[in-house]
Amino acid sequence: MDTFIVNKVLNNNVLIAIDHQDGEVVLIGKGIGFNKKKDELIRENSVEKMFVLRNEKEQEYYKELLPQIEENILNTIISSIEMIRSKSDVTLNEQAHVALTDHILFAVTRLMKGMEIRNPFLTETKALYPFEYEIAAEVVDFINHSLDIDLPEGEVGFIALHVHAAMTNMAISDINKYSQLVKRLTETIESQLDIMIQRDSIHYIRLVRHIRYTIERVLKEEKVEEPEKIVALLKKEYPVCYNLSWKLIKIMQQTLKKPVYNAEAVYLTMHLQRLTTKYE
C-alpha cells in the first residue's frame, strides 16, 4: 500500500506529493487537498477514488491545465471520470485521464462561449461502440445537470471515443482514423450499389459492426479461414458485390497499412449481398 507525503496543495481536489520512492506525483480526487498541510501523510487506501499521476509529461500538462479550470468544473470532471472508471470497470491509464480532463474542459468552455463543434462521426460511433456510447450519454447528462449547461449529442460521440480509447489502451487519433475509414467504406458501398442505408436501421448497425470487426481482425493480423468452394460461387452469382468487396479491402489496406486476408472478401460479399436484397 502506497503512502504519500504532501508537498504542495494546488486546490481542494489536487495536490503534489512525494511517494515512497521519493518521486513527485500528482494526486487527484474530490476534496483530497481540503485542509491538507505540507508534510502530512496520506495513505492510498484512506482516500476513496484517488488517482495518482506519475508520468512526468502528463503531470506537467495537467498542472498547466489546472489554472484554467474553475473548482466546480474540476469537481464535475473528476466525478465524470470516476463514473467512466466504475461503469467501464477499467482502470484508466494516465494518458486517458488527462485526455478526458482536457476534452471535457474544452467542450464546456466552447459551449459557454457559444461555439459548437459538429461531430461528423456520430452515427458511426453510436453503431460501432454502443456500450461506450451508453456510458458517455450518462456522463454528458451528469455534466449538463451539474453545470446547468446543455452539451449537444455530438459531445456524447466524442466522449464515447475517449471511453473506447481508455478501455482498449488505443490512441484517440487511431480511433478517429478507424471511424473515418468506416464512414468512407459505408459511403463507397452506398455509391457503388446506388442505395441509401438508413442510419438508424438494423442493416446499418450490422454493416458497421461487420466492418469494425474486420478492421480489428486486420489490425491483430488474425487469419480467417477461406471457404474456397464459396469463392467461385460468389464470383459467378454476385459479381457486383464480389468486386465491391475487393474495392473495400483495397481501401482498408491503404489506410491500415496491413494485408487483408482473401477470406474477408468472401464474408464482405455475403454481407453486401444480404444488404442489396433488403434494398431491392
Domains and CATH numbers, the chain: 1-54 (2.30.24.10), 55-170 (1.10.1790.10), 173-278 (1.10.1790.10)
Cell numbers 468512407 correspond to 184
The per-residue pLDDT for 101 is: 95
Mean pLDDT per 10-residue section of the chain, whose length is 280 residues: 88 92 90 90 82 93 92 94 92 90 94 87 94 97 96 95 92 92 96 93 92 93 79 89 96 94 90 86
Please tell me the distance from the alpha carbon of residue 61 to that of residue 46, in angstroms, as a whole number. 27
pTM over 0.85: yes
Instruction: List b or e across 67-84, with b for residues whose CB sees 16 or more CB atoms inside 10 angstroms.
Output: eebeeebbbbbbebbbbb
Strand partners, 25: 17
User: Which among 147, 145, 144, 121 has a CA at the least distance from the CA of 133?
Assistant: 121
